[in-house]
Amino acid sequence: MKKILFSTDKSLLSMLLLRLTTALTLLPHGAQKMLGWFGGYGFTGTMSYFTEVKNIPYPVALLVILIEFFGPLFLIFGLGTRLVAVDIIVNMTGIILSSHTQYGFFMNWFGTQQGKDLNTTS
């Protein structure tokens, strides 16, 4: 069991493609939060939104920004990939639970469905 969890596949190309795809998907979101690129609000604006509007504690909000910005950079260079993967999983789980549960499981591809509020009892 230990060998399965901690061994590395010999297919370097497939691992590189997975790392790069994940990194290139997440990096623009991190750059929005950290640098204000791609229409983002930058570090100060994002921290204000997280702490004042979403009421996320400052250390957690800081970790979200750092994980989304530096995590993809670590993936691109192949540094700490397992730790970064766990960080990204925890980050995405928090995002799903805090911001996306109201819309349900399926994407609204055509904009025809109203968001479902799962926080109300009816």
Given a contact cutoff of 8 angstroms between Cβ atoms, the answer to whether 36 and 42 are in contact is yes
pTM over 0.85: no
| CB-CB contact of 34 with 42 (8 Å) | yes
Residue 119: pLDDT over 80: no
3-state secondary structure of 67: helix
Q: Can you tell me the mean pLDDT for 12-25?
A: 88
Going by pLDDT thresholds of 50, 70 and 90, the confidence category of residue 8 is low
Q: From start to end of the chain, where are the E strands?
A: none
Q: What pLDDT is recorded for position 30?
A: 93
- For the chain, the domains span 18-103
Q: pLDDT tens digits for 71-118?
A: 999 999 989 888 999 999 999 898 888 877 776 666 667 777 665 555
Q: In the predicted model, is pLDDT for residue 67 greater than 90? A: yes
Helix axis angle, 12-35 to 58-77, nearest 10°: 140
* Residue of 63, 67, 81, 69 whose CA lies nearest to 8: 81
